Amino acid sequence: MKEFSNSENLRSQLEKGIETIATNVASTLGPKGRTVILHQKDRMPIATKDGVTVAKFIDLDHPFQNAGAQIVKQAAEKTNQEAGDGTTTTTVLTYAMYREAQKYLASGAAPVELKKGMDLAVDYLVNQIKDESTPIKSIDDIESIATISANGDKVIGRLIAKAVDLAGKDGSVTIEEARSVDTSLDLVEGFRFDSGYLATAFINDEKRGVVSYDEPIILVTDEKIEHVETILPALEIASREGRPFVIVAEDIEGQALAALIMNAMRGTMRVCGVKAPRYGEERRNILKDLALSVGATFVSRQMGKKLKEVKLTDFGRSKRLEIGKNWTTILGGKGSLDSVEEQIEKLKAIMQDTESLRECDKIQERITRLASGISVIRVGAATEIEMIEKRHRIEDALEAVKSAQAEGVLPGGGSFLVQKSANMLEFLADKVENETQELGVKIIQGAVKEPLKQMCLNAGESPDIIVHDVSLQEKNFGYDFSEHKMVDLLERGVIDPARVTRCALQNSVSVAGTLITSNFAIVEV
């Protein structure tokens, strides 16, 4: 059965759905944000401040309200994928944009022209973000970003800063659950590359959406695997060993991939297929280094080794392995340390004789990958509900740090967008073509104040007074909720990753603009 809705009813129901999801998520925003308890039938309740986790949990009974809520979820999830944080800001911005637009739509404004004006305003703000972002200068900046993302938890901020510092510029940080109440930090030998699982069916940690194995055996090959007969000897060996089996190959598809997925789904084997990263010679080099790191034989036809001929001694081993959608981290590879050191020295010698800067960069990347350690944060807590909540905050904080390292930082506390939007119409005067587009710019001007307003509400402060005062401040100045006064935010360490702010803006206007220009809906019930 299908249910239909006209424009007026549709707008009303969509707004109710968006409002419901925004209201529930908004309470987590800012340094004084609260946790939200989520409880599914037959499962343990969890408490979280992670906006995207809250959003994912929400499903509404009314079909058109639920459609609005699900569309907003897309914006939040997209921001989470791109920046690792900012999901709550995205949700708040989307609702504010849509709500502001309804006032003008009700009076007959053209939706398409409104959207054009909104896009102009967001493009302007995105350019301001890019122009004024400041690169991370110190470990103190990392601590500040992590602390803010973790809702003001200075302990988590210091922990992540130390973890990043230990791992080094090109190292990586991973998170595990501790077996005690204490949260600790260790540096272990590891290997990480930018490619992940070939199918979601391999995921065995549903909470985190990753493949996680202890003491796996690993096969490394540059072959493209299509037929199950090709990997049958390897599967038989892995089955006899009774250990998790991971195969990293140029590609796995067809019958071979289907066989791996079937084994994983039936639970007959703990198995995962990973596509090798990059292309050509660069891919072969990464695979060679990986094989060296885990003590595996690099199975390559060019080297006279076929997959059908593999033996147990050709498999590599590691203490732990985690695989995400776009990354693989191998902890405690069992390869020979002497062999690894020898390879590093060879690469250094090659780099000294290489004149091409590009080639030098590639070689340095290989050296770093082989030599760098991985910081492991082991999250401890007294109860599972506390463990999950703390882990969510640490994961968000770590992703926020990565975003900041990539695109720099901005003055935080919601102040940057408020200040940069104040005189936006003056700068866009030559680009705005009509009055309706001007209204679209005003929609964005109003919407970008909402994150700061919500922070004020969560902190028990007066939103209107603070927003007004912030808009009049000099560059980099804004409201510090811990000291209850205007300060130089950059100097005080109250900063936001530029990528998070940019993604939140772009994804929220994308979804809000689409909803504004929608006039009819058909929902299957």
What's the pLDDT tens digit per position in 286-333? Answer: 999 999 999 999 999 888 888 888 999 999 999 999 998 888 989 888
CA-based nearest residue to 127, from 505, 434, 490:
505
Q: For Cα atoms 466, 470, 475, give the angle at the middle one, nearest 5 degrees.
A: 165
Tell me which of 127 and 521 has the higher pLDDT.
127
Residue 53 · residue 38 · CB < 8 Å: yes
Could you tell me the domains of the chain? 2-134+408-524 (1.10.560.10), 184-335 (3.50.7.10)
Q: What is the pLDDT of residue 202?
A: 96
CA-based nearest residue to 8, from 525, 520, 439, 443:
520
What's the pLDDT tens digit per position in 137-195? Answer: 888 888 988 888 887 788 888 988 888 888 775 567 878 787 788 888 877 677 888 89
What's the pLDDT tens digit per position in 90-122? Answer: 999 999 999 999 889 888 889 899 999 999 999
Most distant CA pair in the chain, distance: 75
- Measure the CA–CA gap between 497 and 511, rounded to whole angstroms: 22
Tokens linked to 253 = 């598809």
Phi/psi of residue 40, nearest 5 degrees: -95, 150
pLDDT over 80 at 76, yes or no:
yes
- Measure the CA–CA gap between 477 and 470, rounded to whole angstroms: 8
Tokens linked to 8 = 């007026």
How does residue 426 score in pLDDT terms, banded at 50, 70 and 90? confident
Tokens linked to 47 = 């408490």
Q: What is the pLDDT of residue 6?
A: 63
What's the pLDDT tens digit per position in 442-462? Answer: 999 999 999 999 999 988 888
What number of other Cβ atoms are within 10 A of residue 385's Cβ?
16
Alpha carbons within 13 A on the beta-carbon side of 470: 32
Computed over its alpha carbons, how large is the radius of gyration of the chain?
A: 26
Tokens linked to 56 = 């994912």
Q: What residues have CB less than 8 Å from 117, skipping those under 6 apart?
A: 432, 436, 437, 438, 439, 440, 441, 442, 443, 444
What number of other Cβ atoms are within 10 A of residue 35's Cβ?
18
What's the pLDDT tens digit per position in 209-258? Answer: 899 999 999 999 999 999 999 999 999 999 999 999 999 999 999 999 99
Mean of the per-residue pLDDT values of the chain: 87
